Amino acid sequence: MSTGLVVSGVSRAARRSRSVRICGGILLAVAAVAIIGPFISPHSYLTTDFNGTFIEPTLRNYHLFGTDDLGRDLFVRTLMGGQVTLLVAIVASFVSLVIGVAYGAIAGYAGGHIDAIMMRAVDALYALPFIFLVILLMVVFERNFLLIFVAIGAINWLDMARIVRGQTISLKQREFVDAARLIGVPPWRIIFRHITPNLLGVVIVYVTLTIPQAILVESFLSFLGLGIQEPQTSLGALVNGGVSQMERAPWLLLIPAVLLAVILLCFNFLGDGLRDLFDPRQDSR
Amino acid sequence: MLRFALLRFLWAIPTLLLVIGLAFLMVHAAPGGPFDAERALPPEIEANIAKAYHLDESLPRQFTRYLNGLLRGDLGPSYRYRDYSVSELIGNAIPVSLKLGVLAMMLAIVVGIAAGTVAALRQNSFLDRITMAFAMTGISVPVFVVAPLLILFFAVRSQWLPASWSGSTSGWRFLLPVIALALPQIAYIARLTRASMIEVLGSDFIRTAKAQGLRSASIIRHHAMKPAMLPVLSYMGPAIAAILTGSVVVEEIFGIPGVGQFFVRGALNRDYTLVLGIVIFYATLVILLNFIVDVLYGFLDPRIRHQ
């Protein structure tokens, strides 16, 4: 039921708001090209070609975006990087969604002292520079995808927890929760089977706003050389590579940088647009 | 007021201890010792190294030793820069990082508030839309994309400004790093200022002021500015954290020998003590400045104090 509500809500949002329509369209197009492109291109993202380094973007040899210092095709690498960036962002946002929703729903449903302590802890954690702990984590442990997902996801759950808590408090006074309690449904079951499904609309909006933050963190880590490792790549790693070559081959910097910027811009516009439609009272900060 | 400040301070201490504890645990849970990468050493020498760095003691003992050192401002020896202590490395790098951060913060506050106020006063005009489009771009485009692009266009292509730190001694070398660091914060502050200014301008006391025939410049300055600045003030905590994070990237890209550059070098060299020290240094700074912002907020907005 709720899933249907969300789908119809999003399509209504797309009809009503031009920014939601345009940005959603661009993101879908980028995702589609990033997934299909590598299959169509004659080049692999791994193959090096020392006779074909620093080829400028041309149609010759089908190097649409040129090649890098090792002669690898930038078009395929950019698409692979885009894939990794989107994947990391979506999975990491899902992790933060799970943590945030569970935490917020439990605090809101429990109420009283438990709620007070849990939310004071969130306030205190706001002051905590998670990003530096994540960097430390990446320095100390062997870097793999799982660690990156969890580490990035663990950063962005605070806002989600606050919003979910607020919603839970208003939901738990509704009759269907009373009814569930009356027939003896245990609290954890009320939280996860009766309350959380009704949070979906708000949660979707805030996930859309969490995704660009997760992208920022991932590309920041990869830019520092602490995230995705060679030969895998992400947009942040590609920008990092481009910086060192920018005097000789500016396209190595410009193309991934512009793509990253476009993806982030679109997610932010999309999230803002959805929030204005779903939740008009929140000021669009 | 004093009670409020004291209470906030009491919350800051466990937060800080939590960061230090987590960071310390992480480093010590690391697979393999800090010296494993080098040639295999005779066991006696390994034992001696472990002893010199107190790695042979139990974890709680090492932690209390570390905390003891922290209280005296001693972050222990660096694992890679053998002749320096972590405190010396950080201490030498602070002045330039501080200058960079303070300049960027000032630029962000001045330009951000000005742009946001202008946009709010001309709501939905062309100027407003352009400003907000720029602000959205500023929020979306990360520092590590802005900084290289600035270098590419203003230093490599046009040669107007020095591209790297060491290539120049004039004050102009601060310009590009400060702009790169401030840009996202300008964008955030402009958006915040615009939203809260619009809200304040729609409130009753502004209408009263208008009805009294006050000039709009005077209304903005004397009536609207202070309440409109409260959300901006509460954003200062995250802004400080963001400037610190950004400075890591900016210093690396421009080659500025500040704390951030040591952080990146330490991270890539697996210099655990250096990275641990800088994480704790940053965390202390963020938590301390957050505390100051909180108290300032309570000072300006009495409603907060009595919650």
Mutate to test the interface with B, among A22, A136, A262, A266 (most CBs of B within 10 A): A136
* Residue contact B12–A253, C-beta within 8 A: no
Taking the Cβ of residue A243 and every Cβ of chain B, the question of whether any pair is shorter than 8 Å is answered with yes
What is the average per-residue pLDDT within A143-147?
Answer: 78
Q: Which helix (H) or strand (E) holds B215?
A: none
Amino acid at position B180, single letter: A
Give the residue carrying structure tokens 């210099």. B271
DSSP sequence for A48-60: --TTSTTPPS-SG
Give the residue carrying structure tokens 């920022």. A216
DSSP letter, residue A251: H
Mutate to test the interface with A, among B75, B136, B145 (most CBs of A within 10 A): B145
Taking the Cβ of residue A270 and every Cβ of chain B, the question of whether any pair is shorter than 8 Å is answered with no
Three-class SS of residue A157?
Answer: helix
Rounded CA-CA distance A104/B290 in Å is 23
ipTM above 0.90, yes or no: no
Shortest CA distance from A261: residue in chain B: B141
* Residue contact A140–B287, C-beta within 8 A: no
Is pLDDT larger for residue A12 or for residue A211? A211
Alpha helices in chain B (DSSP H): 2-28, 43-52, 59-71, 86-121, 126-140, 143-151, 175-201, 204-211, 216-219, 225-254, 259-269, 272-300, 302-305
Q: What is the CATH number of domain A2-42+58-282?
A: 1.10.3720.10
Count of H helices and E strands in chain A?
12, 0
* Pick from A148, A220, A140, A128: nearest CA to B273: A140
Is pTM beyond 0.90? Reply is: no
Token digits of residue A253: 């910097």
Is pLDDT larger for residue A92 or for residue A3? A92
* Residues ≥6 apart with Cβ < 8 Å to B160: B154
Q: B278, B259 in Cβ contact below 8 A?
A: yes
* Residue contact B27–A136, C-beta within 8 A: yes
Q: What is the pLDDT of residues A220-241, one digit of tens each?
A: 888 888 877 777 888 888 888 8
The answer to whether residue A285 scores a pLDDT higher than 50 is: no
* Residue contact B195–A285, C-beta within 8 A: yes
Alpha helices in A64-154 (DSSP H): 74-110, 112-126, 130-140, 145-153
Taking the Cβ of residue A81 and every Cβ of chain B, the question of whether any pair is shorter than 8 Å is answered with no
Token digits of residue A209: 């706003």
Query: Residue B184, preceding bond cis, omega within 30 degrees?
Result: no
Shortest Cα distance from A266 to chain B (angstroms)? Answer: 9
Residue B118 CA: distances (Å) to CA of A83, A272, B111, B113:
40, 22, 11, 9
Taking the Cβ of residue A137 and every Cβ of chain B, the question of whether any pair is shorter than 8 Å is answered with yes
CB atoms within 10 A of CB B99: 14
Token digits of residue A285: 């900060």
DSSP sequence for B8-42: HHHHHHHHHHHHHHHHHHHHHTSSS-TTTTS----
Q: Kindly give the confidence (pLDDT) of every residue in chain B, 307 residues in length, as a single tens digit, with 9 standing for 90 and above.
A: 778 788 878 878 888 888 888 888 888 777 655 565 556 677 777 777 777 777 777 778 888 888 888 888 788 788 777 778 888 888 888 899 999 999 999 999 999 999 999 999 888 889 999 999 899 888 888 888 888 888 888 877 777 777 676 666 677 778 889 999 999 999 999 999 999 999 888 888 888 888 888 888 888 888 888 888 888 888 888 888 889 888 988 998 888 888 988 888 888 887 888 888 898 898 888 888 888 888 888 887 777 666 5
Three-class SS of residue B82?
Answer: coil
What average pLDDT does chain A have?
Answer: 82
If pLDDT is split at 50, 70 and 90, which confidence band does A281 have?
low
Rounded CA-CA distance B260/B282 in Å is 10
> What pLDDT does A9 receive?
67
Burial class (CB in 10 A: 0-12, 13-18, 19+), A232: middle
Residue A236 with chain B: CB contacts under 8 Å:
144
What is the average per-residue pLDDT within A189-194?
Answer: 88
Mutate to test the interface with A, among B144, B245, B280 (most CBs of A within 10 A): B144
Kindly report the length of chain B.
307
Residue B37 with chain A: CB contacts under 8 Å:
none
> Please, what's the b/e burial string for A167-181 (b: 16 or more CB within 10 A of its CB; e: otherwise)?
bbeebbeeeebeebe
What is the average per-residue pLDDT within A7-35?
Answer: 81
* Residue contact B267–A224, C-beta within 8 A: yes
Shortest Cα distance from A131 to chain B (angstroms)? Answer: 8
If pLDDT is split at 50, 70 and 90, which confidence band does A248 have?
confident
Q: B247, B105 in Cβ contact below 8 A?
A: no
Q: A53, A69 in Cβ contact below 8 A?
A: yes
* Residue contact A135–B267, C-beta within 8 A: yes
Shortest Cα distance from B209 to chain A (angstroms)? Answer: 25
Mutate to test the interface with A, among B132, B149, B285 (most CBs of A within 10 A): B149
The answer to whether residue A284 scores a pLDDT higher than 50 is: no
* Residue contact B195–A132, C-beta within 8 A: no
Rounded CA-CA distance A148/A23 in Å is 27
Shortest CA distance from B274: residue in chain A: A136
Q: B257, B165 in Cβ contact below 8 A?
A: yes
Amino acid at position B4, single letter: F
Intra-chain end-to-end CA distance of chain A, in Å? 31
Could you say which of A129, A132, A239 has the minimum Cβ distance to residue B145? A239
Q: Which helix (H) or strand (E) holds A242?
A: helix A235-244
Token digits of residue B289: 């400045």
Shortest Cα distance from B46 to chain A (angstroms)? Answer: 20
Give the residue carrying structure tokens 């502050």. B189
Establish, for the pair of chains A and B, how many residue pairs have beta carbons separated by less than 8 Å: 138
Residue B268 with chain A: CB contacts under 8 Å:
224-226
> What pLDDT does A156 receive?
84
Shortest Cα distance from B208 to chain A (angstroms)? Answer: 24
Rounded CA-CA distance A241/A235 in Å is 10
Residue A178 CA: distances (Å) to CA of A38, A110, A171, A182:
53, 14, 10, 6
Could you say which of B148, B238, B286 has the minimum Cβ distance to residue A243? B148
Q: What is the pLDDT of residues A122-134, one digit of tens each?
A: 887 877 777 888 8
Token digits of residue A159: 């806002």
Shortest CA distance from B283: residue in chain A: A129
Residue B278 with chain A: CB contacts under 8 Å:
132
